[in-house]
Amino acid sequence: MSQENIEKAQTQSQEKLIQNKSNVNVAFYIHLKSFDNSTRKELKERIKEVFFFSKGIEWKFDSFGIEKPGSRGTDILGYFIFQTSNIDKLKKLFLSEFKDYKNVSKITCSVSEYKKVSEKFFELEF
């Protein structure tokens, strides 16, 4: 299998692979009061509502999970990570969908920006 690195896209299929110059990840951490068998289902239902109502916000869902108390703290955390270009709209939408959730003590958020350093293209031959 040979592979040759190319610095700039030379074909239409390579053009489609071009990554954004930067990527912003927004992580929402739902600090839960308690965790039981229905908690995961409840959080998934709420996030489906966020997805459904997110018209006009450019975002991509990255991951979801529940972290039980341990080495990083004593809280039970439900976390949702998105890639977005409009942080303010996503924050408002997320807050509106979770403000009446009785199992939350607080919501914290982190924003990380990653910049593209380089990009190379290659094809794998079979």
pLDDT score of 50: 66
What is the domain range of residue 75? Answer: 25-111
pTM of the model: 0.62
The model's pLDDT over 84-118, given as tens digits with 9 standing for 90+, comes to 777 887 788 778 888 888 988 888 888 888 887 88
Domains of the chain: total: 1
Q: Domain for residue 18, yes or no?
A: no
What CATH number is associated with residue 98? 3.30.70.60
Q: Domain for residue 125, yes or no?
A: no
Cα 14-20-25 angle, rounded to 5 deg = 135
Q: Domain for residue 126, yes or no?
A: no
Residue burial 60-92, b: 16+ Cβ < 10 Å; e: rest: eeeeeeeeeeeeeeebbbbbbbbebeeeeebbe
